[in-house]
Amino acid sequence: MPALVVIGAQWGDEGKGKVVDLFSEHADVVVRYAGGANAGHTLVIDGQKLVTHLVPSGVLHKGTICVIGDGTVIDPHTLVDEIAECRSRGLLPENSHLVVGHRAHVILPYHKQIEALREKQANAIGTTLRGIGPAYEAKAARRGVRVGDLLRPDRLRTIVQQNIDALAPVVEHMGEASLSVDTIVSEALAAGEKLAPHIGDASVFLAEALGAGKNVLFEGAQGALLDVDHGTYPYVTSSSTIAGGACTGTGVGPTSIDDVIGITKAYTTRVGAGPFPTELDDAEGEALRQAGDEFGATTGRPRRCGWLDIPALRHAARINGLGGLAITKLDVLRGLPQVRVCVAYELDGKRIESLPMDAEDVGRLVPVYESLPGWEEDLSGARSIDDLPVNARAYAERVAQLVGVDIVLVSVGPDRAESIHIKPPFGG
């Protein structure tokens, strides 16, 4: 089973960094296929924290090759800084350990400028202000800058000038001046020079790796409910976050994918605007936030917290074709007298058991809860499912039963070692 996709099955922040790091021990290649520096993956090894935004979470395994696929949008300065940070920790020792797809699109200062101006408007989405959306817009409009263009000064200048000219009326209408083309181009070329040893054809590289029988792990960003097509639109990201995006974002055909693992917290969180049926805007929600350290790795913003939403999780299981479920942060629920899960909704007085895709309808949902007994025991030392307290194990098993997907891993703490492996990745 050489090709495995790992995706977030909620609104992001599910703990993908830790799970991908664990699975990367068995992988030869780890590839990011969508999103950009709006995705912060937190890795904790022996108490030391590393947050990656663009470099795949497999970076902690020195024999693993990391690939940033063509479906991503890359802030070149962020990537240069991240590579330097990794190398200062003894990671990415050689240029061959990181491949950056030359077709991936580039985030430039004017993307961040236009996004910041939009977020000041009344209908703000609550973005990370990293320029992700405007970069994908430029891509769709066929005026985007690609990574390969950072090595072509004349082409780069032409495209940047076209973009500055196109955005000038909007920027000026919002009360700001257009940015300097000369400055943008010179800084982008400098970053391109540093990235040049890594730039290559990611699609060909991955095809050769799979053809050679290598284990390739495709690392998703954000979560399924933020998918631009299948999420709670318009409160979504600008790319395909579901498993299918692994193919379009890397140039690997769908018949090459062998399995998909979805990651869910033992509860639910969301950042930014958008409907959230099980949100707890009270002391219980604050308790979850503090116990789970629910503050964004990228923005530092406090995350909205609530009970686990089973219909939303079933939606994610269906659109991704999940073959397994990894449950993270089960330890955060410790000490609660009871733990609730949303098993259905009421909409206009009628019970429904699936998540509507109209954001206004989702905002009017009333959750129907099932209560399960809590537990007081510390879970951090559990290394098998049998080590869990009876009520904690019953909770995890009930979640799997309701979603209809088997559990492959349970995380009982932030450190790599604080994990229960039930089924190894890649069929090992």
Active site residues: 13, 41
Q: What is the dihedral of CA 78, 83, 86, 92, to 10 degrees?
A: 150
Q: Which residues, 6+ apart, have CB-to-CB distance to 149 below 8 Å?
A: 106, 155, 156, 159
Beta bridge partners of 137: none
What are the C-alpha distances in Å from 275 to residues 11, 25, 157, 233, 281? 11, 37, 41, 10, 13
- If 0-12 CB within 10 Å is exposed, 13-18 middle and 19+ buried, where does residue 101 land? buried
Taking the C-alpha atoms of residue 142 and residue 138, their distance in angstroms, rounded to an integer, is: 6
What are the C-alpha distances in Å from 419 to residues 41, 388, 404, 411? 17, 11, 22, 4
Secondary structure (DSSP) of 135-172:
HHHHHHTT---BGGGGG-HHHHHHHHHHHHHHHHHHHH
Backbone torsions φ then ψ of 188, nearest 5 degrees? -65, -40
Contact (Cβ atoms closer than 8 angstroms) between residue 76 and residue 192: yes
